[in-house]
């Protein structure tokens, strides 16, 4: 059958990301807006992003991809489980 384990997908909470007042995540926010534009995905509260794109962003921040994940987690802009996110 179909397995439904929590994904390791990188899912951004767009409301939180775009509300983030500090400049720290400005590049992530800009990147997310560009991806929304490319996909025509404007109505979502969350956005799943490519692992490749996370790697590229990590280079911009001069940290490791896992380091960037940590930073996003600390800023509270990552959604651990999008299905739980919508259930709450």
**Interacting residues with ligand C2E (CB under 6 A):** 7, 9, 11, 35, 38-39, 41, 44, 46-53, 82-83, 86
Sort residue 64 into left (φ over 0), alpha (ψ -120 to 50) or beta. Answer: beta
Nearer to ligand C2E, 22 or 43 (CB): 43
Report phi then psi at 46, rounded to 5. -130, 160
Q: Which residue is nearest to ligand C2E (CB)?
A: 44
Residue 53 CB, nearest approach to ligand C2E (Å):
5
DSSP 65: H
Alpha helix segments (H runs only) across the chain: 14-19, 26-39, 51-60, 65-74, 82-87
Nearer to ligand C2E, 22 or 81 (CB): 81
Residue 44 CB, nearest approach to ligand C2E (Å):
2
């Amino acid at each position: 059958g179909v397995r439904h384990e929590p994904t390791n997908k990188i899912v951004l909470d767009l409301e939180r990301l775009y509300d983030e007042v500090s400049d720290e995540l400005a590049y992530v926010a800009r990147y997310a807006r560009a991806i929304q534009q490319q996909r025509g995905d404007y109505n979502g509260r969350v956005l799943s992003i490519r692992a490749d794109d996370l790697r590229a962003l990590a280079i911009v921040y001069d940290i490791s991809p896992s380091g960037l994940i940590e930073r996003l987690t600390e800023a509270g802009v990552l959604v651990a489980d999008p299905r739980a996110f919508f259930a709450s």
